[in-house]
Structure 1
Amino acid sequence: MLPKSCIPCRGPGRPRQLDLGEREAIIIDVAERVILSAGLGGASMAAIAREAGMSKRTLYEVFESRAALFAAVVRRIRSSVARPLEPHQFDLPLAERLRLILTPAAEKFTDPLPLALLRAVVAEGDKQPELVHGFLQEGPYALHAMIRLELDRSVARGEIRISDTESAARLMTDMAHESILEHLISNLSECHREEAYRRRLDLAIRVFVGGIGEPEGEADEGRRAS
C-alpha cells in the first residue's frame, strides 16, 4: 500500500483527484520499491499495482506498458546522475559545461536503486530485451546525447573541431564513469565512491578537453612539432 505521505489529504466532500503527474510520481515510487525488494523479474505490473493499492487498469492508464514504466524509472535515475544545462549556462567554456552535466546529485552515491537496477538488467536482461532497450535509451544513450549536444555547440562556435561528435561523446562519458564491472563488484563506501568519482571526472575532463577537445589543427601541429 502507499505510504501515508503519498496519500492526498481528504477534506469534507469528494476526495481530490490526483493529476497525471502526481499519479506517475506515485507509481514510479512504488515501482522503485518493488524492484529493490523483488528484483526486475518480480516487478510485474500486477505486483506494482498491488503495492500501490490500485488496479492494473489504473496502472495501464498511466503507463501503457511495463517497458514504459521501467523507462520512466530509469529516466528519474538519470536525472540524479546528469542534468541538462540551463540556457544561461550555454556560453560557459566546454570544460565547465561538461562538469555541470556530469556532476551527479549527492544522493546518487547513497541511493541503492541505481546499482540494484544495473545488477537486475545484467542478470535478467536476456529474458526481458524490451526492458534492456528502455534502460539503454533512457540511461546511457540519453547521456551520450546530452554530451554530444554540447560538443556540437562547441564545434559550431569554433571552440573545437571534431568530425565525429557522437563517438567523442561516448568516449567522454566512458572516461568519466568507472567500468561496469568495477561498479558492480566495488565495496567502497558512499563517501569514498563520491570522492573517487569526482577525482576521475576532473581528470577525464582535463584529458578530453586537452586532447580530443582541442582544435584538430592545433593537435596536428603539436604532433608534427614533437
Structure 2
Amino acid sequence: MENPEEEKADCCGKARRGRPQQMDPSAREAAILEVAAQLLMEVPFDDVTMVAIACRAGMSKRTVYEHFKSREELLVRSIVDISRTIFLPLNSEDTQRSLRDRLSLLLRINAPPGCEAHKLEFLRSIIAKAQAYPVLAQQLHANGRGVLIGFVRTEIERAMESGEIVLAPANLEMAAEMLLDMAFENTLTRLLHPGFQRQDDAEVERRREFAITVFLRGCAP
C-alpha cells in the first residue's frame, strides 16, 4: 500500500536524470537504507515516503523503486538494520562473565540518534497501521523485543546448565519475557500519556539492575 503522495513525479516535483552512475548497486542500496533509517528517526512516519527518501539520497524515485518494490519493503529493511544496532549480542569475552553482568550488558539499549518524540510517534503510527503494514509491524517486534528475548533466553539457559540458577526448563521462555517486562518501563504508558516524563539514564539503569537482582533472587540455587 503506497501513500497517494508517492504518485508525484519526483523529488520536489523536479525531473531527474536517473540513478547515479558512480555508485554500484550494493552501495546505492546501502545509501537508500541509511537515508530511510535517518528519516524514520527524524520525521513523522507518514512523511517517510519514497519521494522523501529519494530526495534525501539525491536519487530519482524510479531508482529507489529499482531496489525496493514498495515503501513497506524498504521500511522493513530499514527497521531490521536499526534494530540490529539497538540490542547487541555478547562478545566472546563477555560470555565468560557472571550471569548478572551478562544480563546487565544485554539489557542496555543502544538508542539510535534522533528526537525521542519522533521515535514515540513512529511506534504509535506502526501500532495504528499494523493492519495496513502487517509485515512492518511484525518485523519491528521480531527484530526488537524478539531478538533481545533470544539473547536473554540463551544466557539464562547457560546459567541453568552451569548451576548458577535453578529454573524449570518449561519456564525458560516465560522467565526471559518477565525479566524484560521488569527491566524496561511500560511503553504503553508513554503512548497513552504523551506528557508522561521519560526516565533519565540513571533511573533506567537503576530499574535494570533492580530487575536483575529480583530475577536472580527468585532463581537462586
Aligned residues: 200
Task: Determine the structure 2 residue equivalent to 1:162.
Answer: 168
2:189 pairs with 171, 182, 195, which one? Answer: 182
CA distance in 2 between partners of 1:210 and 1:61 (Å)? 54
**Larger helix share, 1 or 2:** 1
* Equivalent runs, 1:45-124 vs 2, <5 Å: 45-63=50-68, 65-105=70-110, 113-124=118-129
- C-alpha change, 1:111 and 1:18, in structure 2 (3 Å) is farther
CA distance in 1 between partners of 2:66 and 2:152 (Å)? 34
2:23 pairs with 13, 17, 32, which one? Answer: 17
TM-score by length of 1: 0.72
1:207 pairs with 188, 198, 214, which one? Answer: 214
CA distance in 2 between partners of 1:44 and 1:110 (Å)? 19
Unaligned runs of 5+ in 2: 1-10, 12-19
Q: For 2:23, give the aligned amino acid.
A: Q
- On the 8 A contact 2:90/2:105 being kept in 1, the answer is yes
1:196 aligns with 2:189: no
Task: Determine the structure 2 residue equivalent to 1:224.
Answer: none
1:27 aligns with 2:17: no
Deviation at 1:116, TM superposition (A): 3.2
- On the 8 A contact 2:82/2:112 being kept in 1, the answer is no
Deviation at 1:112, TM superposition (A): 5.0
Q: For 1:147, give the aligned amino acid.
A: V
CA distance in 2 between partners of 1:27 and 1:111 (Å)? 23
- C-alpha change, 1:110 and 1:66, in structure 2 (3 Å) is closer
CA distance in 2 between partners of 1:73 and 1:79 (Å)? 10
- C-alpha change, 1:168 and 1:26, in structure 2 (3 Å) is same
Tell me how large the CA RMSD over aligned residues is: 3.1
Mean CA deviation greater in 160-169 or 46-55: 46-55
Q: For 2:57, give the aligned amino acid.
A: A
Task: Determine the structure 1 residue equivalent to 2:132.
Answer: 127
Task: Determine the structure 2 residue equivalent to 1:8.
Answer: none
CA distance in 2 between partners of 1:93 and 1:137 (Å)? 27
CA distance in 2 between partners of 1:198 and 1:37 (Å)? 26
Unaligned runs of 5+ in 1: 2-13, 216-226
- C-alpha change, 1:19 and 1:86, in structure 2 (3 Å) is farther
CA-to-aligned-CA distance 1:2-52 (integer Å, 9 cap, x gap): xxxxxxxxxxxx9753562x4444323322344456633343334423432
Deviation at 1:93, TM superposition (A): 1.1
Deviation at 1:167, TM superposition (A): 1.7
- On the 8 A contact 1:82/1:103 being kept in 2, the answer is yes
Q: For 2:215, give the aligned amino acid.
A: F
Mean CA deviation greater in 36-45 or 105-114: 105-114
The 3-state SS of whatever aligns with 2:168 is coil
TM-score by length of 2: 0.73
